[in-house]
A and B are shown apart, each in its own frame.
Chain A
Amino acid sequence: MGSTAVEKIISSALGRKVSEGEFVEAPVDFAYFHDGTGPLVIDALDEMGVDRINDKEKVGIVFDHSVPPYNDQGATLQAKVRRFARAQGIPRFHDLGDGICHQVIPEKGYVAPGQIVFGADSHTCTLGAFGIFSTGVGATDLAYILATGKTWMKVPETLMVECAGVLDDRVSSKDLILEIVRVIGTDGATYKALEFAGGAVRAMSQASRMTMSNMAVEMGAKTGFIEADDKTAVFLNRPDGKRFKTDRPVPKIEVDAGRLEPQVACPGSVANVKPISEVEGVHIDQAFLGSCTNGRYEDLYEAARLLRHRKIHRDTRMIVIPASKETYIDAQRDGLLDVFLEAGAIIGVTGCGPCLGVHMGVIGENEVCISTSNRNFIGRMGARSSSVYLASPQAVAASAIEGKITDPRRV
């Protein structure tokens, strides 16, 4: 009897074989948090009476939620986290402008395949794309990890999502993951590890795989695991690490990537997914390209392909936010930012931007935004009466040009 990749990671960390359903206290290889969750992490450590964290080499802090801070209290809270980072001597501290935590942590190679990684942010599941067992927790859980170097968890069941076929041009891994959310639902993977596999996933770039893993939490999953390969090692610049494979039968869902058309998650629920042909023509006030889901170089590149020598519709505004400083520099060097500016888009500073509805593109009463981000809950990006459609970078770019939801294959 074999094991799942996630069981093997946890077994390897504990030095004994574990199986799904077991409660374990596992050592954590790397833990990180941001300026949003950081203040509560520090409060919890203070309340615990912890003066020195367990291992400052296993911690990352990235300021990404309020970049730059949009009110005095946000600035005050960031200063508190900054003082903590200095007092503890945390070397992997990224202040304003370095990027979104889920992008910066792997870009800098702080993590490697086969590790156990926890982050105080729900989209920590993104790092599953690197063959890591990674998951999000709240601030108090993260404080406990900083204090002790370990945490409790239930070894998750694995639900395999086998993606056969080859994605068409202008159809992306975002469309594939939206289709998967439609099939699994918002809670179909609760407490489980999702594992994305099959030819379509193997053929994907590491960046595209991150988009898949990023949205695992929208189905309730702990992580969105993908087997590491040579592309993973190149992205992380880490030839080390352990590559684990699932080698026992697990429940499986099959998806045909080759037959997929662009998909859109309609307002209110990430699982409210429809083929773009059913929602084409819906007026949009704003288009947002960015976030930990789709703010990477290839996302900007694909959007720029459509926007080159075109203009954004006069009734629509478009906001572009590179996911990290590295992405920003690459996009600038290759002229992508010129394309966006000439088309009429606004380029924001690297960070989470308007995804969570507090600054850099908040939408007003009854306004509609098409966004490459990962959540379209009521009021997520602004007013309660506003609405958010989630789509690929290609669909967001095409819709910005037309001022209404548009199939990118027709532009």
Chain B
Amino acid sequence: MVVLKGRVWKFGDDVDTDVIIPAKYLRSVDKTVWPKHVLEGLDPEFSSKIKPGDIIVAGKNFGCGSSREQAALAIKWAGAAAVVAESFARIFFRNAINNGLPLIEAKGISKAVGEGDVIEIDLDSGGVKTKNGALRSAPLPPFLQEILKSGGLVNYYKAHNK
């Protein structure tokens, strides 16, 4: 059983990948640039506030827009343990799983938690514990859980193509 416990940073609906990592930082051979600008479009100071193990909570359609995988990488490398949202845009969803960043789609999460709350996520069951009670969500299909547990699609490929 994989349980993650972390402090919440809260965002709204339709957080797009341009605000997660503006395009001007993408053309860089130095990948450490990306987490330094994570979510800069909404909060220019965010990269200095987030601590390893924190959890991002958002409304509907998180990660909409561009397919830039740097959005998932910036969040992961900034230290976020997971993203919990009302819903995710599909390309971001795939990118996050492919890079081993856990996502939980939990209806009602926006109302149930506030910034700074501590929540607990059970990745196997999809359950989220908040101070206002527990939320249930559908767990990922088994093969997606396997990709996640492998640490991403690259490792999954290596494990299945020896």
B94 close to A186 (CB less than 8 A) = no
Chain B 74-91, CB-CB to A under 8 Å as 1, else 0, gives: 000000000000010111
**Chain A residues, CB < 8 A from B28:** 73
Excluding A137-B91, A139-B67, 8 further A-B contacts by CB distance (< 8 Å) are: A69-B27, A136-B67, A143-B154, A147-B157, A220-B90, A356-B18, A357-B22, A379-B22
* Majority secondary structure, A binding face: loop
A–B Cβ pairs within 8 angstroms, 28 of them:
A36-B26, A37-B69, A44-B153, A48-B161, A49-B158, A69-B27, A70-B27, A73-B29, A73-B30, A77-B29, A121-B67, A136-B67, A137-B91, A138-B98, A140-B99, A140-B152, A141-B153, A143-B154, A186-B64, A187-B14, A187-B87, A190-B89, A190-B90, A191-B90, A220-B61, A375-B16, A375-B65, A384-B41
Contact A138 B67, CB 8 Å, known A186-B61, A187-B89:
yes
Contact A136 B27, CB 8 Å, known A48-B154, A187-B61:
no
Q: How far is the CA of A139 from the CA of B152 in the complex (A)?
A: 13
- B66 sits at the interface (CB 8 A): yes
Give the interface size class of chain A.
Answer: 35 or more
- A76 sits at the interface (CB 8 A): yes
B41 close to A379 (CB less than 8 A) = yes
- A23 sits at the interface (CB 8 A): yes
A140 close to B69 (CB less than 8 A) = yes
Contact A138 B94, CB 8 Å, known A378-B41, A378-B42:
yes
- Point out which of B18, B64, B70 has the most chain A C-beta atoms below 10 A from its C-beta: B64
Q: How far is the CA of A397 from the CA of B152 in the complex (A)?
A: 47
> Smallest CB–CB gap between A377 and chain B, Å?
4
The 4 A-B residue pairs whose C-beta atoms are closest, nearest first, are A138-B95, A187-B61, A74-B27, A138-B69
- A358 sits at the interface (CB 8 A): yes
Q: How far is the CA of A220 from the CA of B92 in the complex (A)?
A: 11
A48 close to B141 (CB less than 8 A) = no
B27 close to A140 (CB less than 8 A) = no
Chain A 352-378, CB-CB to B under 8 Å as 1, else 0, gives: 000011100000000000000001011
Q: How far is the CA of A44 from the CA of B157 in the complex (A)?
A: 10
> Smallest CB–CB gap between B145 and chain A, Å?
13
Q: How far is the CA of A375 from the CA of B16 in the complex (A)?
A: 10
Partner of A23, one of B61, B94, B143, B152: B143
**Chain A residues, CB < 8 A from B152:** 140
> Smallest CB–CB gap between A179 and chain B, Å?
19
Chain A 110-149, CB-CB to B under 8 Å as 1, else 0, gives: 0000000000111000000000000011111101100110
Contact A378 B18, CB 8 Å, known A48-B154, A73-B27:
yes
User: Which residue of B is nearest A375, CB measured?
Assistant: B65
User: Which residue of A is nearest B27, CB measured?
Assistant: A74
- A392 sits at the interface (CB 8 A): no
> Smallest CB–CB gap between A136 and chain B, Å?
5
**Chain A residues, CB < 8 A from B68:** 36-37, 138
- B49 sits at the interface (CB 8 A): no
Within 8 A of B (CB), among A59-83: 66, 69-71, 73-74, 76-77
**Chain A residues, CB < 8 A from B143:** 23, 152
> Smallest CB–CB gap between B129 and chain A, Å?
26
User: Which residue of B is nearest A45, CB measured?
Assistant: B154
Partner of A144, one of B29, B141, B157: B157
- B72 sits at the interface (CB 8 A): yes
Partner of A357, one of B14, B24, B65: B24
- B19 sits at the interface (CB 8 A): yes
